[in-house]
Amino acid sequence: SVLIIDFGSQVTQLIARRVRETGVYCEIHPYQTGAEAFAKLKPQAVILSGGPASVPEAGSPRAPDEVFAAGIPVLGICYGQQTMSQQLGGNVESGHHREFGRAVLQVERASPLFEGVWTPGERHQVWMSHGDRVTRLPDGFEVIATSENAPFAAVADEARRFYAVQFHPEVVHTPDGAKLIANFVHRIAGLSSDWTMAAYRREMIGRIQQQVGSGRVICGLSGGVDSAVAAVLIHEAIGDQLTCVFVDHGLMRLGEAEQVVGLFRDHYNIPLVHVDASKQFLDALAGVSDPEQKRKTIGKHFIDVFEAEAAKIGGAEFLAQGTLYPDVIESVSFSGGPSVTIKSHHNVGGLPERMNMKLVEPLRELFKDEVRALGRELGLPDAFVGRHPFPGPGLAIRVPGEITPEKLDILRKADAIYLEEIRNAGLYDAIWQAFAVLLPVRTVGVMGDGRTYDHVLALRAVTSVDGMTADFFPFDMGFLGRAATRIINEVRGINRVVYDVTSKPPGTIEWE
């Protein structure tokens, strides 16, 4: 495995993604607990991430010294390069030569890091983001690539298999970066690609059986990919010791509740309790129009209903959750200040400790794309595994203002047509998330010979990698016109359709 020591870069997770894509297991640990992680994981290679600190400053973070004494390959990236150089006897200075963004790299020497990718004499685009830079190399190191502002853009001590780069190979703006990381993992560290979802499935089944023994497990299904994959995996491990609970809050999309029940109960034959709590939720939401209030109301009722069902089932000491690796990674905090709550998130994974159950979290080591691959491995239908994300509070946050059953009904029909048009146009997989929002605004229209005074529907579609930032999807006008015409013709209550062209930031993906 590979240990990634995190110095707080925004893109450390991308290093892990690139390593996993080569079929090699890796873990991210903050530098503060790097030594413990190193002892526990016994990695065959180490990568030191970038970070916002400055090596010349007193008290700035360092890599554990044992990393350099273990005789294993080490790759330092950006801050990782700088601290590595400093720790091995070189020198780093705070820069007057800042370099941010695209830079051109000149390849100076052949190296196993570049093998099959770059040849000496070539120039290649890379992504730089640094203020400080290395000014004297430690003994044993030589320069393998330069850039205009970084004479030590890539350096290597081939004998000790230490590599250090000033640029960021993990980001897409370094087009060959993934290949360099693959070279480090395969050629330099000699690791083979045994991290596959087939292997993960086998291993996890054993681990779940061991953890649970003859105990009973409850798993909340949300209709989303994560909880579904977790449930199918756990069922494969322990069969009917698992009971799934699907709390239907009445805020699902058209036909969605039926799909979930059909898939689990009929297709997989997994014991499933379908709780139709829509009346309770809609009653609780009546008169509520503030977005945060809606989210909190739904979260609270969800927990109440779930707890009551768990009590009815009785005897379960384990609660299954579809927690993913990005939620588990401890982050390196420099500022330590509280961050602002933009939206209080609700999902099935948010059940409180007060349920006093032990957690079964079989996806804790996986990124989202790996969960999808595992889902396919477990035979979940492609269409299900490839679904766009859907928020825990459901359609409640897609009806700005007060929610009524009538508005939900209009939104469901319009949303279904919009998604059908997207599928028909072959665009579903190119979009991260697409949905309709029913606005609390009525406008005047004319249909046939009559005046109408109906709702406005906003269409939203975005591209994104992780939901943290997003761009609006550039549909062609023909597509938008077709979707709008169908919606207005087929859904009573809507007489105008608009398209949302806001990116995130400054917008968020959902409207509430």
Binding-site residue numbers are 222-228
- Is there a contact between 390 and 398 (Cβ–Cβ < 8 Å)? no
- Nearest to residue 194, comparing CAs of 328, 18, 26? 26
Whether 170 is catalytic: yes
Whole-number minimum distance, CB 152 to ligand XMP, in Å?
A: 39
Site of tokens 């044992």: 66
- Does 296 interact with ligand XMP (rule: CB under 6 A)? no
Whether 26 is catalytic: no
DSSP state of 332: P
Q: Which tokens hold the place of 433?
A: 């998330």
Using the rule CB under 6 A, which residue among 173, 265, 343, 364 binds ligand XMP? 343
- Does 486 interact with ligand XMP (rule: CB under 6 A)? no
Select 343 or 376, whichever has its Cβ closest to ligand XMP. Answer: 343
Whole-number minimum distance, CB 420 to ligand XMP, in Å?
A: 20
Select 301 or 346, whichever has its Cβ closest to ligand XMP. Answer: 346
Site of tokens 């969960």: 371
Dist CA 435 CA 119 (whole Å):
47
Of the residues 170, 256, 309, 421, only one is catalytic, namely 170
C-alpha atoms less than 13 angstroms from C-alpha of 118 in its C-beta half-sphere: 29
Here's the x/- map for ligand XMP, 488-507, by CB under 6 A: it reads as ----------------x---
Of the residues 29, 124, 130, 168, only one is catalytic, namely 168
Using the rule CB under 6 A, which residue among 346, 387, 413, 460 binds ligand XMP? 346
Dist CA 333 CA 97 (whole Å):
27
Binding-site residue numbers for ATP are 222-228
C-alpha atoms less than 13 angstroms from C-alpha of 409 in its C-beta half-sphere: 5
Select 124 or 368, whichever has its Cβ closest to ligand XMP. Answer: 368
Whether 78 is catalytic: yes
Q: Which tokens hold the place of 499?
A: 């398209």
Here's the x/- map for ligand XMP, 99-128, by CB under 6 A: it reads as ------------------------------
- Nearest to residue 149, comparing CAs of 96, 109, 91, 108? 96
Select 209 or 464, whichever has its Cβ closest to ligand XMP. Answer: 464
Whole-number minimum distance, CB 435 to ligand XMP, in Å?
A: 8
Using the rule CB under 6 A, which residue among 296, 467, 471, 498 binds ligand XMP? 467
Judged by DSSP in three states, 70 sits in coil
Q: Which stretch binds ligand XMP (CB under 6 A): 172-180, 262-270, 364-372, 389-397?
A: 389-397
Select 188 or 225, whichever has its Cβ closest to ligand XMP. Answer: 225
- Does 192 interact with ligand XMP (rule: CB under 6 A)? no
- Does 228 interact with ligand XMP (rule: CB under 6 A)? no
Dihedral angle over CA of 34, 37, 41, 46, nearest 10: -10
Whole-number minimum distance, CB 466 to ligand XMP, in Å?
A: 9
Of the residues 26, 27, 29, 78, only one is catalytic, namely 78
Order of strands across the sheet with 99-107? 26-30, 2-6, 45-48, 74-77, 162-165, 154-157, 142-147, 99-107, 123-130
Using the rule CB under 6 A, which residue among 81, 241, 321, 347 binds ligand XMP? 347
Share of the chain residues as helix, strand and coil, in percent rounded to the nearest 5 = 35, 25, 40
- Does 393 interact with ligand XMP (rule: CB under 6 A)? yes
- Does 508 interact with ligand XMP (rule: CB under 6 A)? yes
Whole-number minimum distance, CB 26 to ligand XMP, in Å?
A: 25
Integer angstrom CA distances of residue 351 from 245, 305, 339, 355, 482: 13, 11, 22, 8, 42
Instruction: Give me the residues paired with residue 164 across strands.
Output: 76, 155
- Nearest to residue 485, comparing CAs of 423, 404, 417, 426? 417
- Does 345 interact with ligand XMP (rule: CB under 6 A)? yes
**Chain contacts with ligand XMP (rule: CB under 6 A):** 343, 345-347, 389, 391-393, 433, 467, 504, 508-510
Active site (catalytic) residues: 78, 168, 170
